Chain A
Amino acid sequence: MYTPHTAEEIRAMLEVIGAPSLEALSDPPTGLEIKSALDVAPALPEADAYAHILGMAHANAAARMVSFLGAGAYRHYQPPAVPYYAFRSEFLTSYTPYQAEASQGSLQAIFEWQTYICLLSGMDVSNASVYDGATALVEGVIMAAQVTGRRRVAISRAVHPLYRRVLATYAAGMDVEIVELPVNADGVTEVPADVSSELAAIAIQSPNFFGAVDEVSSAAARAHASGALLIHVTAEALALAVLKTPRELGADIAVGDAQSFGLALGYGGPYVGFVATTKEHVRRLPGRLVGQTHDVDGRRAYVLTLQGREQHIRRELASSNICTNQALCALIATIYLAVVGRKGLLSIAGANMANARTLADAIVALPGFGITHRAPFFNEFVVQTPVPAAELCAALEKRDILAGLPLARFYPDLTHALLVCATELTTPQHIADFTRALSEETRRAVAAV
């Protein structure tokens, strides 16, 4: 399909090689041939393939719905300049920048990403990215275990449930023990005053999974008093624009997902995780790192550095097994941050907060609906619903509205709780349609009972 060889060229090349046929070169040893027919659909011409996949895309009705669904993946405005430059072939079709002389573009962009993450988080150093927010948390926990020599980590129940699931998967194989910290009636994590001296870290997300700005600094103080590190988790990176930085709150390690910075929802990926820390722990930082140096002519240049920590040099002694990172996603986020700038990011964050408050006011005005968490929120919050939230979601989906996340999906006790999100893309019309639908479907559900 995309190969250039003519029959004549193949003959000529085989002759140079001294092989009688393509099969003679490429067939496996006797006994390892494929014996059965492969269950692979016959090839489609390119135009048919395009139409076929377009049909699959059209079959995703949820992509076209008005949405109040966040929960760790956010629909934000993507300025057209972002994909326009990020998807230039020279970035898209290059490999990991091992050859510095041939990769200054990618290397400088990663250096700029590292800088943005430091400026946003307040931390000293950031790596070149990891797979997503959940794996960033895992890497943060591994770092903390290495730094402290301890194997137990306390994590808030208000950290994204899927991040915690991923951490549990890794912990099961890595001899790390996870204990959970409870969440109080205001939606904020409760850290016991006597945290165990065996803890490697306390992990707190803010804004947390319920949308609440969590109590990070008191958790940090308690962690530090017992020799543990504080891991600050961010699932909605846009909040970093306005909230106190993880560093100001006492974090030793800041991890999270930067999907909000110009990356498509894309049914879950690819997104981009970040891991940032203090100078003190730089050698424990996993994954790639780009540093600034100069070339033999004295020109400023960038290069992958501290590779002595990495798997291709240290093999089983590496600080992590990460090889591929999320360079293109980090580039998208970097271009996003460059295009919107300080001014744009602040106004986008402001619009999120404003729209979320308009939404909250409109929902609270509905009979039977309420907000019980008193903690401040950014763009997402929990609504108490008069009928089971899952039923409301199913009813609203029929009206082409994604109402949010019924919390019972991850917290089985919370049957009447709905996590809703507003972003800068939420309009007054969306909110009016949403609240009308909520109220009508609630009445219908109550009447049915």
Chain B
Amino acid sequence: MPSLLFEKGAPGRGGDFVRDAGPATRFLKAAALRAELPLPDLTELEVARHFTELSHRNFSVDTNFYPLGSCTMKYNPKLNEAVSGFAGFTDLHPLAPDDGAQGAIRLLWHMERTLASLFGMEAFSLMPAAGAHGEITAMLMAKKYFHERGERERITCIVPDTAHGTNPASAAMVGYKVISIPSTARGRTDVAALRAKVDGSTAVCMMTNPNTLGLFEDDIAEMTQVVHAAGGLMYYDGANANAIVGLTRPGDMGFDLMHLNLHKTFSVPHGGGGPGSGPVGANARLAPYLPAPAAARDESGAYYWDEDRPSSIGMVRAFPAHFLAIVRAYAYIIVHGADGLRRNSQLAVLNANYIRAKVKEFLTVPYVDLCRHEFVCSAEELKKTTGVRALDLAKGLLDAGVHAPTMYWPHVVPECLMIEPTETESKQTLDAFVETLRTLVEKAHEDPELLARMPLHTPVRRVDEAQVGRLANKGVGLRWSPERSDGAAS
């Protein structure tokens, strides 16, 4: 077991990074200073071993197949890493004068225009830091738009029951009342139910298309028409955009607002849970409300930050973008072009359908239609006959070196696994995955107890989540503390 950094080292270890300037009391009065700084001193080798060991305790795209639904765990090209590390970007201060940052603003300007074209929007803002940040940005835009129009009675946000949890949470943050719409037996949003809920109080309808069941909402034009007729706005959650790039556009479907997750669709590495990048797009009606400043180009071809956006909601983070993430996504786009991006989406859909066709042989696939870039299957039948749950299958996959699919979500399918292979995986990898899953299902019939004990070979096995939750509620066990040598806080 790797000990914590705080249990390693010894006082005085470690390198000399700068010339010593003497104690802090030389510069500030003792009354302003802290008494002690209780951090460990380690040699660089201790740090090297520590983090190398930690890295070996992680699954990642570069080491494992990672079919985590709705997360688009595609390969992250190393070109992205190289170009985002150029000193001309990494050493550039966000408040540098525009004429000293022409390359950076130019890159952002091109990126915005490219995304606008690819998704049929009038304009994009690259400021939001992640998908959920894009959602709250768009909700703030919608709220301002309606307030300016004097339509303060619009206070509801309509969200399908298959929506990402961030959708209702983002809507609630701006005070919208969330109304959930059920799905049909075909796995699509129920248009009749939508029609019944939409009225003069509707502000926004948030949709993911393809939805989180991996199915294209083929009534999208009608839904858009219903919401627009009532004066509401349509919001496109781009979490599943990997299915549609170069094939169809949210703008053409009638969406007014949208966000993208550059860390999903455009191969910015996920980094263990961020940083992401969640650009927000808007059609001509909503574009004036996008965050400002915005990258712009004058008649002479010089790039600058345009602050003169009177209807803008303002800034949503301190500086204009997760710039180094944008550079990665930009690299991805320019090596593909529109044709390459379209091809990637087609192959993502091919891979998902291929797994789906094979998994159907031994697990329930609840919807008959072909899927897009992901699909859900259910272990409900398996659970009834063997007691083995989707969770157990997921944990069994870990033992085989495959990251688990997304589990138990969307809630409309019991015991569900959501599988998204992405386009960068080969037929051989997909075949091996299907056989692994098939073997687990067979084992479930022979030895269900074994599956309940899996995983057996991961760095740790199943963990006690209940205990940690009880302690965490009291603020305990969320940090190392010197009082107890086993690391649990007192």
Contacts and interface: CB of A to CB of B under 8 A. Distances in A.
Interface string A21-37: 01101111101111100
A414 interface: no
A17 B248 contact: no
B461 to A, nearest CB: 5
B327 interface: yes
Given A95-B71, A102-B58, A105-B55, A1 B336 contact: yes
B412 interface: no
Given A27-B247, A169-B314, A323-B131, A244 B34 contact: yes
A194 interface: no
A201 interface: no
A283 B79 CA distance: 41
Interface in B154-201: 164-166, 168-175, 178
A100 B57 CA distance: 10
Given A269-B322, A295-B462, A60 B92 contact: yes
Interface string B54-93: 1111111111101010010111110101110111111111
Contacts of A73: 93-95, 319
7 contacts: A54-B83, A56-B104, A101-B461, A293-B463, A324-B275, A342-B37, A397-B99
A345 B39 contact: yes
B40 A63 contact: no
Contact of A329 (B274, B291, B330): B274
A297 B139 CA distance: 46
A310 to B, nearest CB: 8
Nearest to A335: B51
A283 B476 CA distance: 12
B321 to A, nearest CB: 6
A369 to B, nearest CB: 21
Contacts of A160: 318
Contact of A335 (B47, B110, B327): B47
Interface in B325-369: 325, 327, 330-331, 333-341, 343-347, 349-351, 353-354, 356-358
Interface in A106-145: 106, 108-112, 114-116, 118-120, 122, 124-126, 128-129, 131-135
B477 interface: yes
A412 interface: no
A328 interface: yes
B169 A267 contact: no
Given A91-B271, A344-B17, A60 B104 contact: yes
Interface string A65-99: 10101011101010101010111111111111111
A301 interface: yes
Given A59-B106, A328-B274, A350 B23 contact: yes
B270 A93 contact: yes
Size bracket of the B interface:
35 or more
A91 B60 contact: yes
A165 interface: yes
B460 A17 contact: no
Contacts of A26: 243, 247, 345-346, 349-350, 372
Nearest to B3: A300
A265 interface: yes
A109 B272 CA distance: 10
A300 B464 CA distance: 10
Interface stretch (A171-179, A221-229, A429-437): A171-179
A28 B216 contact: yes
A3 B343 contact: yes
B123 interface: no
Given A28-B244, A79-B44, A168-B314, 19 more contacts: A10-B350, A17-B353, A17-B357, A43-B336, A63-B96, A92-B272, A109-B272, A128-B273, A169-B313, A243-B34, A266-B90, A269-B129, A294-B463, A295-B461, A316-B168, A322-B130, A353-B27, A354-B22, A402-B96
Given A39-B117, A124-B475, A162-B319, A16 B272 contact: no
B166 A105 contact: no
A242 B28 contact: yes
B178 A315 contact: yes
B315 interface: yes
Interface string A331-345: 100110111111111
A102 B23 contact: no
Nearest to B14: A341
B465 A350 contact: no
A88 B113 CA distance: 33
A100 B481 CA distance: 22
B301 interface: no
A65 to B, nearest CB: 7
Interface stretch (A184-192, A274-282, A380-388, A441-449): A274-282
Contact of A58 (B5, B16, B88, B221): B88
Given A72-B318, A94-B270, A354-B27, A62 B97 contact: yes
A405 B254 CA distance: 44
A245 B117 contact: no
Contacts of B56: 90, 105
Contact of B62 (A63, A93, A292, A297): A93
Contact of B271 (A128, A328, A357): A328
A16 B352 CA distance: 12
Interface stretch (B225-233, B422-430, B439-447): B422-430
B487 A300 contact: yes
B134 to A, nearest CB: 10
Residue among B22, B135, B324 with the most chain A CB within 10 A?
A: B324
A330 to B, nearest CB: 8
B129 A270 contact: yes
Residue among A17, A42, A46, A283 with the most chain B CB within 10 A?
A: A17
Contact of B248 (A28, A52, A95): A28
B60 A93 contact: yes
Residue among A35, A90, A248 with the most chain B CB within 10 A?
A: A90
A62 B132 contact: no
A249 B426 CA distance: 57
B17 A340 contact: yes
B257 interface: no
A291 interface: yes
5 smallest CB-CB distances across A and B, nearest first, come from A268-B319, A62-B100, A57-B88, A279-B475, A328-B271
A49 B79 contact: yes
Contact of A32 (B47, B252, B269, B358): B252
